Structure 1
Amino acid sequence: MATTRDRYIDTIRALAIVRVIVYHALGVAWLTILFPSMGIMFALAGSLMAASMTKSGSAVRVVGHRLRRLLLPLWTLGAVGFAVMLLHGWPSDDPTQPTDPKMLFWILPLNTPPTSEWGQFFNGVLWYICTYLWFVLLTPVLLPLFRRLPVLMLGLPFVLLYVLEQHSFGLSDMVLDPARDFCTYLACWLLGFAHHDGMLQRLKWKVVVPIVLAAAVIGGWLTWIGREESHFDLTTDAMPNAFWSFAFVLLLLRFRPTMAWLARMPRLERLIDLLNARAVTIYLWHNPGIFAVGLLLGSFGLQAEEPTTVGTAVLLILGTFLWTAVATLVFGWVEDIAARRRPSLLPPNRRRRGPGDSTAVRSPATATS
């Protein structure tokens, strides 16, 4: 059944996707502070997951639906990625070979799947898919616990992350890395639950502001003292990332501006719809695009890996967005099949007004839903 859309949430998600592409293309560290996209995307996905659990009542059905929406686009990427890796050959001295059992993570990404040297740009962003999968699988347990003990559950991720940062318990990086990512963004996922349940809207600003300030100050202070290693890139330091993302997401989801102005800009509104409807495809395919465009620019003698001129940076961004647009047209229909819709090059532009929201629309479920 079609449902009305929250235009504010859709706009935030669209901005988060664009920011991810620009960050990966240019490697501008401070963008992770200006707009912590990953925490935002996990929070919005958590809200939609809670909505599905509440509406369906069947954890098996909801989890199965989410897995289908996630895995079919991933398998498409994996098929192309493997073809590229096999085409270039697998060096005999490469510690990872096609017969490695960990290659099964390309089928069920409980961890980031391995690749050859030529495949690293295909799996470079898959840590997010891995973390998202674990959130989906554990939501049937996390959601009721959060509804019973919201304050305790929101504090738990920071405790768990601190413990993991201080003690490895003899675990390998293969276990520690996904566990660390899970704990880093767990509070954001739980804020998504709170957003869906209306808890955030019931919080007074006199309560929200001190919490936001406290989390932002802690995150900012931890970022500052670790600046020599992180260079102000939050993605390289889990603890400040967790606090800063929590503060940003809480403020963003509590803030509820009117989006009526968006209806007066149909082209922008349509672009936001497209970014939301094809978000998995865009996320999965933009990174190989950066690699491909970088190779192209390198053939003309331009240093694209770390652009040193504005011109090279602009060419890299434009090329990446062009690649991503083409890849979305070529592979985006997989998301339609995963959602059990009729496949199409572009999702239909269908609108439906919702109660009290003149800009609500009926559009396909998004990548992080």
Structure 2
Amino acid sequence: MHRDKFLDVVRAGAILAVVGQHWAMPVLSYADGHLSTGNALATPGWWVVTWLSQVMPLVFFAGGAANLMSLRRAASSRDWLANRVRRLVLPVLPLMALWLVIPDVLLEWGIPKQPVEVAGAIAAQLLWFLAVYLLTVLITPLMAAAHRRFGLAVPAVMAVAAIGVDIARFADFGLVGFANAVFVWLAVHQLGFFYAEGGLGALTPRKALALSGAGFGITALMVAFGPYPASMIGMPGAPVSNMSPPTVLLFFLAVGQIGLLLALKPKLLAFAANPAIGRALDWLGARFMSIYLWHMPALIVVAGITVYGLGYATPEPGTVLWLAMTPPWLAGIGIVLALLLKVFSRFEAMGRKTATAGTPQLVFAALLAAAGLLGLAAHGFTTASTPFSGPLPWVALTVAGYALSGRRIHAARITTRFLGHAVAMTESAKLTR
């Protein structure tokens, strides 16, 4: 099967940027049972880094291109959807299994509750991406049909809708801003379709740079004259975040980033042609989801040993000491991640097994899993007084979604079993009266 090396480079660069940013930006210290957390990118002037390091738009762009390509190669939309859902959900199951017990184990070891709660929140918070991406995958066949019929009007309409959501959000209309988790990311995902069909990929470097200039230029104008913060990631204590929920600014940032990479496409392809680089890209591509899922637990392990166990505190960002300590900090977390991948990356390949579930069942499965993942991202792997007040219900939804994405279950059989259990419970209740 032919692979698009440009997309391989974009995906690899995106995951490395995500990992590098998440590992380098924490400012941590521990005292008197309390773990203090800060963000190095909150340093004055460092917001400019986020215009390139905020690469989630590139992940959705590359995903859109790859999804359309693979959808058109698939035997059917059902086969494609089954494969995608299982490959996305299976790798997260071992992570959830471990974090159902880790908080209680840490508390049993005498670690104070507050740092344990922080660790549980950090381990789960990035699952939002899987939830949103699952919904994106679910709607991809419909968006592909819309793309064939309406072309560029589709992302344009979604961008306009995202602007409307932002207007309502800044007017304090409750939770309406979270609608942009759909409009913004689907619009960027849709841009990937234009690359898959050759339109964007065929741009000359000059035209790609013009596209990049337009994207970054609109972003700059909206920051300068609008209500949008300059940082493309959420900052501690900031009244507004461009990321949670996403604002339309990220769509225009995506245009800028995509144009810049397309302008560099000839150089990136030459870079990927190196055999050693090609092998590295293949290795990263086969472990993309595992790296995403386990890079924060790796950070938690190293922070637990050094910050909690040894009393290390992050130096002031930007100082000589911070610059000196960052490389060994990154290297230590990288070693832990490599060990975790040795154990858990195998689940990423296992998700490619054949599934027989029908399309309605697959849709229901994806919705269940997405709901579970969103719940975990919002609430974290926290300790709870009862099983149903902690992460267990969200884990159950995700596991149920994965189970339903495999073998076809006949509705008649489900109904018969449900009625049988209902009758049994009713009879049991009568006997106990």
Aligning the two structures, in what range does the TM-score lie when normalised by the shorter sequence?
0.7 to 0.9
Matches within 5 A, 1:1-369: 3-27=1-25, 28=41, 29-56=47-74, 58-88=76-106, 117-168=118-169, 173=175, 176-177=177-178, 179-202=179-202, 208-224=208-224, 230=229, 232-234=231-233, 236-237=241-242, 238-253=247-262, 256-257=265-266, 259-260=269-270, 262-264=272-274, 266-298=275-307, 299-304=309-314, 309-340=322-353
Shift in Å, 1:167 = 1.8
Distance 1:239 1:306 in 2: 33
Shift in Å, 1:39 = 1.0
330-339 or 198-207: which moved more?
198-207
Map Cα deviations across residues 151-203 of structure 1 (whole Å, 9 max, x no partner): 21121222121121122599864x743x3223222222111111111122455
Distance 2:231 2:186 in 1: 22
Q: Which residue identity lines up with residue 151 of structure 1 in the other structure? A: L
2:92 match: secondary structure? helix
Distance 1:274 1:286 in 2: 16
CA RMSD for the aligned pairs? Answer: 3.0
Map Cα deviations across residues 81-129 of structure 1 (whole Å, 9 max, x no partner): 1121343469xxx9xxxxxxxxxxxxxxxxxxxx954411221211211
133-142 or 253-262: which moved more?
253-262
1:167 match: secondary structure? helix
Map Cα deviations across residues 9-47 of structure 1 (whole Å, 9 max, x no partner): 212211111110111112244433124421111111111
161-170 or 131-140: which moved more?
161-170
Shift in Å, 1:54 = 1.1
273-282 or 19-28: which moved more?
19-28
Q: Which residue identity lines up with residue 312 of structure 2 in the other structure? A: L
Distance 2:264 2:5 in 1: 13
1:5 match: secondary structure? coil
Distance 1:261 1:207 in 2: 22
Map Cα deviations across residues 60-79 of structure 1 (whole Å, 9 max, x no partner): 21111100000001112111
State the TM-score, normalized to the length of structure 1.
0.75
Shift in Å, 1:311 = 3.1
Q: Quick check: 1:72–1:335 contact (8 Å CA) kept in 2?
A: yes
Assess, with a 3 A threshold, how the Cα gap between structure 1 residues 30 and 328 changes in structure 2: closer, same or farther: farther
User: What is the aligned residue count?
Assistant: 312
Assess, with a 3 A threshold, how the Cα gap between structure 1 residues 116 and 261 changes in structure 2: closer, same or farther: closer
Assess, with a 3 A threshold, how the Cα gap between structure 1 residues 261 and 44 changes in structure 2: closer, same or farther: closer
Q: Quick check: 1:281–1:331 contact (8 Å CA) kept in 2?
A: yes
Distance 1:127 1:51 in 2: 25
Q: Quick check: 2:208–2:262 contact (8 Å CA) kept in 1?
A: no
Shift in Å, 1:287 = 1.0
Distance 2:264 2:349 in 1: 32
Distance 1:10 1:213 in 2: 24
Distance 1:47 1:89 in 2: 45
Match of 1:100 in 2: none
Higher gyration radius (CA): 2
Determine what percentage of the aligned residue pairs are the same residue: 25
Assess, with a 3 A threshold, how the Cα gap between structure 1 residues 83 and 16 changes in structure 2: closer, same or farther: same
Assess, with a 3 A threshold, how the Cα gap between structure 1 residues 133 and 13 changes in structure 2: closer, same or farther: same
Match of 2:426 in 1: none
Shift in Å, 1:224 = 4.3
1:244 match: secondary structure? helix
Q: Quick check: 1:39–1:188 contact (8 Å CA) kept in 2?
A: yes
Q: Quick check: 1:294–1:305 contact (8 Å CA) kept in 2?
A: no
Assess, with a 3 A threshold, how the Cα gap between structure 1 residues 247 and 138 changes in structure 2: closer, same or farther: same
Q: Quick check: 1:42–1:189 contact (8 Å CA) kept in 2?
A: yes
Uncovered stretches (5+) of structure 1, i.e. residues with no partner: 95-114, 342-369
Shift in Å, 1:220 = 1.9
Q: Quick check: 1:290–1:320 contact (8 Å CA) kept in 2?
A: yes
Q: Quick check: 1:44–1:192 contact (8 Å CA) kept in 2?
A: yes
Map Cα deviations across residues 314-339 of structure 1 (whole Å, 9 max, x no partner): 23211221122111111000011112
Q: Which residue identity lines up with residue 132 of structure 1 in the other structure? A: Y
283-292 or 66-75: which moved more?
283-292
Q: Quick check: 1:16–1:37 contact (8 Å CA) kept in 2?
A: yes
Q: Which residue identity lines up with residue 183 of structure 2 in the other structure? A: C
State the TM-score, normalized to the length of structure 2.
0.64
Q: Quick check: 1:36–1:248 contact (8 Å CA) kept in 2?
A: no
299-308 or 244-253: which moved more?
299-308
Distance 1:336 1:207 in 2: 39
Shift in Å, 1:231 = 5.3
